[in-house]
Amino acid sequence: MALVSMEKRLCAHTVSRLNLGRAQLWIRAVNYSELHRLYHQPFFELLKQARAVHEENWPEREVQLCTLLSIKTGGCSEDCGYCAQSARYTTGVQNERLMGTEDVMAKAEAARASGSTRFCMGAAWKGVRMGTQKFNQVLDIVRNVSTLGMEVCVTLGELGAEEAKALKEAGVTAYNHNIDTSPEHYPNIVSTHTFEDRLRTIRNAQDAGMSVCAGGILGLGEGIDDRLKMLEVLSEFNPQPESVPINSLMAMKGTPLEGEAPVDSFSLVRMIAVTRIAIPRAKVRLSAGRTQMNKETQALAYFAGANSIFYGEKLLTAANPRANEDMQLLRELGLAPQAPNPQMQAPGADLDRPLSPCCETDACCEEEAGMTAGCAGAC
Binding residues for ligand DTB restricted to 193-222, rule: CB under 6 A: 215
In whole angstroms, the minimum distance from the beta carbon of 318 to ligand SAM comes to: 6
- Annotated active-site residue 365? The verdict is no
Work out the angle between the directed axes of helices 32-39 and 224-236 (0-180°, nearest 10).
130
Is residue 180 part of the contact set for ligand SAM (CB under 6 A)?
A: yes
In whole angstroms, the minimum distance from the beta carbon of 287 to ligand SAM comes to: 7
Is residue 272 part of the contact set for ligand SAM (CB under 6 A)?
A: no
- Annotated active-site residue 364? The verdict is no
- Annotated active-site residue 76? The verdict is yes
Task: Report the partner that residue 177 touches, choosing among ligand SAM, ligand DTB, ligand SF4, none (CB closer than 5 to 8 A by kind).
Answer: ligand SAM
Residues forming contacts to ligand SF4 in the complex (CB under 6 A) are 76, 78, 80, 83, 85-86, 124, 157
Distances (CA, A) of 234 to 130, 282, 349: 28, 11, 14
Active-site residue, from 28, 66, 118, 120:
120
Cis peptide before 245, with omega less than 30 degrees from 0?
Answer: no
Work out the angle between the directed axes of helices 295-304 and 265-278 (0-180°, nearest 10).
20
Task: Report the partner that residue 317 touches, choosing among ligand SAM, ligand SF4, ligand DTB, none (CB closer than 5 to 8 A by kind).
Answer: ligand DTB
In whole angstroms, the minimum distance from the beta carbon of 175 to ligand SF4 comes to: 13
In sequence order, the 6+-apart residues with CB closer than 8 A to the CB of 335 are: 61, 62, 63, 302
Is residue 226 part of the contact set for ligand SAM (CB under 6 A)?
A: no
Task: Report the partner that residue 249 touches, choosing among ligand SAM, ligand SF4, ligand DTB, none (CB closer than 5 to 8 A by kind).
Answer: ligand SAM
Binding residues for ligand SAM restricted to 314-333, rule: CB under 6 A: 316
In whole angstroms, the minimum distance from the beta carbon of 31 to ligand SF4 comes to: 28
Distances (CA, A) of 14 to 28, 238, 373: 5, 12, 11
| Residue 223 CB coordination number (10 Å) | 11
| Residue 358 CB coordination number (10 Å) | 23
- Nearest-Å Rg of the Cα atoms of the chain is 19
Using CB under 6 A, which of the segments 55-63, 242-250, 345-353, 371-379 binds ligand DTB? 242-250
8-state DSSP, 224: H
Outline where DSSP puts E strands in 92-224.
118-123, 151-155, 174-176, 211-213, 216-218
Outline where DSSP puts E strands in 303-374.
306-310, 336-337
Phi, psi at 158, each rounded to 5°: -65, 140
Of 93 and 228, CB closest to ligand SAM: 93
Of 28 and 198, CB closest to ligand DTB: 198
Catalytic residues: 76, 80, 83, 120, 153, 213, 285
Residues making contact with ligand SAM (CB under 6 A)? 82-83, 122, 124, 155, 157, 177-178, 180, 217, 247, 249-250, 252, 288, 316
